[in-house]
A and B are shown apart, each in its own frame.
Chain A
Amino acid sequence: MPGSVVFGLAFGALVVEAGLPAWLAPYASSTVTAGASQIAIVEALRQNAPMLIAVATALVINARLALYSASLAPVFAAFPRRWKLILAYLMTDQSAAVSVLEAPRWPDPVRRRWFILGVSGPFVAVWIAGTAAGAALGPVIPEEWQIGFIVPLMFIAVMVPALRDWPAIAAAGIATAVVLLLKDLPFGLNVLCGALLGIAIAAFVPERKGTSAADIDPDTSPEVPS
């Protein structure tokens, strides 16, 4: 939850720093409601990316939510449609994980949906409020503070602790290399290409030694604690 506040403040400040109107920050947070993609959109707009590329970049980043949605399908199965529609809107990285883990403790569908609303709602509310506060504070932050550093720092804080298996490490490494190799592409297209190639190539990296052993050289294949 504190992470959600800090991230919200940072996003609000970034929107203002990028020269966009302050109201767009809470608007984005209450409609897109997915911080990483919102920051990517601001970065794309800063590089004058065409609308299509900015939207596509955001949707690639948010494709991970499809995984949560799939995991939550059995959890939500007994809920009425309007509850599914509302709880889908409130789905975030944090609340999806908690909902899937805790759902078995709430077998009654009525109690379960109130429980999920209780864990999801505050995250989104804090995120929107933090963003609005950040947009209000943005103009008073001195330029020398270089607030832009929050973008790589925030993503390092989210991504690096979660890098635990070889496919994920490969995806991150390939994406980084592609972004740097294609740095001369216009409109932030290097980010979109980096993300897509990272996913596509790392999908062929086996999860652990021996899962598809035939084509791995035993001397170079990594030792993976499973």
Chain B
Amino acid sequence: MSGTAWWARAYDVALRAFPAHFRARWGDEMRLTLADRVAAARDRDGRLPLRLVARELASALAGGARERLHERLRHPATRPPMPRLQDVRYALRLLLRSPGFTLLTVLVLAGGIGLSTFTFSFLYTAMLRPVPLDEGARIVRVDPVVDGRLTGTDLADVAALAASVRSVRQLGAFTGRALVVGRDGDRRAIDGTVADPVLFAVARTPALLGRPLVPADAEPGAEPVLVLSYRIWQAAFGGDPGVVGRRVPLNGAETRVVGVMPEGFGFPVASEAWLPLPADAPGRATAGLASVRLVGRLAPGASHATAAAEVATVLRRAQAARDTSARAGVVDAAVETLPSAQIGEERALVFALLNLVAGLILLLALVNVTNLLLARADERVRETAVRLALGATAGRLVVQGMWETVLLCLAGGVVGTAGAAWGLEGITRWTQANIPDNLAFWWVWRLDHVTLLGAGAFVTVAIASLGAVAALRTRRLDVRAAMQDGGARGGARRAGRLSRALVAVQVTTVTVLMFFGVMAGVVAHRVVTIDPGFDPARLLQGGVLPPDARYPTAAARAGLYRDVRARVAEQGALGDVLLRRPLGEARTARGRLARRGAARTPELLPTAHVEASLGDLRTIGVEVLEGRALGAADDASRAPVAVVSRALARRHWGGRSPVGEQLRLAGAGAGDTATYRTVVGVVSDVPHGNPLARDRSADAIYVPLLQGDHDYAAVLARWRTTETAARLAMVQAFGAADPLLVPDGVQPFAESLRKMGLIAVSVTRLFTACFAFALVLALVGTYGLMSRAIGARTREIGLRRALGATDGRVARLILLQGGRQLVVGTLLAAPALGALGLLLRHYVPVSATLTVAAAVLVSASIVGLVLAASWVPTRRALRLTPRDALWTG
């Protein structure tokens, strides 16, 4: 006979649904009866009775399940045995008897559980945890979304929003402001927040001393007041409780300190002091000039989605009421909790990807521990068989084995959680030391109930998966075979199958992890080596923030910028002075960026980066190629002009010179947005846009800073001698322009680039450590698994060699076996790599070639590593003589 018929094999499988003793009593006869029925039907009909076979299979499966259930009810003794204290003691004794195994297993588990717990807790605190204020989950940030991108809210829209939006209550605006406290020689620059006093009602946090801001403080004619943060109260006022009620010079105006907020308070953003945003400021604001952020409390019954829809409606109405050339584009809105809004639009991706990485590392750890447990079970197979033969039930042995797993997982969980807590506290210390200015006040990572819950969940997963494998193994132990040859064959075939499956899972997991690691490394490299598009060496940067009180008009502000530039240029320590104000990207949508052509309708220009500047553009590597540069004489009294980059000129004007052409910059925050500007020059290209973004371009338009109204300008100047001298010179130049003015955030330009990438680099370093741990786990694990799989075949190898097989043939046989798992693992990983690559390319600037190359390289490396891991135990097996192999197998 060529073999058993398929239906008979299927019936054999279906019979496994019946309890073992039932099969032992009736199984053979049932097979025989079915064979009789099939033969009779075949004789009668001349073909295989498929319906009969299907019915019999279904009946066997259902009947088997019912028989098992029936048996449970009839014989309560076969219910799972209850845990006993003596089992725990027994398991503990066994673990203590092999300290090496116990220590290794606990460490591997601690690594997997600790990393998963750390990642989960870190991300939860960073992105999901409600802010630690009364009903913090209902506090939301409201942001307009223009053309799919989150933007600040136009101050001119705030009044309409506050009056009309019902789904967000106590909606208040705030914005950052550099402040100068003190007078003459005792001045100090601090980072302040100008906030609608209603935000203190949103925070529901009482002041430590005095009171917070109240709506009366923002009324026209109210006395200027100030609320201090705990940090600045300690640093600038020595923690003096008498500071409340005192008048201090603030930006030159006497301002009364009315309160000090408690330590750690930084709502809505970290700040050193709070000033009231004048109640009439939104009403007086010019559209397109000042941008603020909005925070409020979600009204009862309102959801984020309904609130966003309502805000979008109000915003669209406000936009429609204004000059259409000033603002256009598709306006929408986002209403998010503060932590979500802080992380930005990629939060879902970040949360999912990083948790996936942590999950994969836990999976790797579990695969390794499974292998360790299987190896240990192999060693004890004879003992287990003896106990089974002496009458111990499989359930009893499973429960005892389970206790061993539980104890190991609990120990791993405790050590891992302690490690995670240590890491979380380290992160808190690091962020407070390195990025205090940008730190959200809710970013305090520590061991809390969420971390413990996460750790508990990971420990449970570990116990469940490891316990299931161990139980399966004990239940399937072939007592007779185990007793006969001491475990060489007792369940070895099945265990071998399990080991091979584990190798495939391991190959898949480690391939995906390493690919992710390599791509993270590529992105981190890009972040570290940010290309600003010009040489940032010896470049000092500071900010000019004209105080509203003394520079209330566009002309006054322009005068200050002109003066600051002149004073900085006078300093011997500084050269190549440039004041710049990036105005973002002007896109072609709805004619916001247009060229006046011969036809009546303006022609649309491609997307371009727009920047207002005053001074020498060569400071940022931009040279004049044609026409003239922008000069200090290009002010509001002259005809509006612009210079364009060569890339933009080529793209739009082709071979012709754009000099003399006219273009319009509506919507780019450039002040008089409806006016056409004459192109007076063409300049060289430098990349613009967010240095970390993938869509950088050299298409640029530069307009004179003095021909628009700007609330801020950055000063760039190259130092000639030392950085210290340059810093001093910049402070002196500002003081010469206005004795009450200090430069905002003075630092080398390269330092600002470094800070830009600091968080990304640090997070990447952290995860590099995780990947290194994963790689070590994978290597050791694969070696262990292959070693075990080959060890199980030692007797077979000996037999083959005794029968004349050459070493080469045997080695090929073994490596081919490893190769099959490699192929399966790599094939399983391929779709994951594809999906991950596409996802990463969507968010970070990496090319398709690089992504594919990384995937191929990682897969090839893993293949190499696994083959290497197979080779060592193969050689060991080949070194044994056939006699030894047969003896030790």
Mutual binders A and B: no
- B residues neighboring A (CB under 8 Å): none
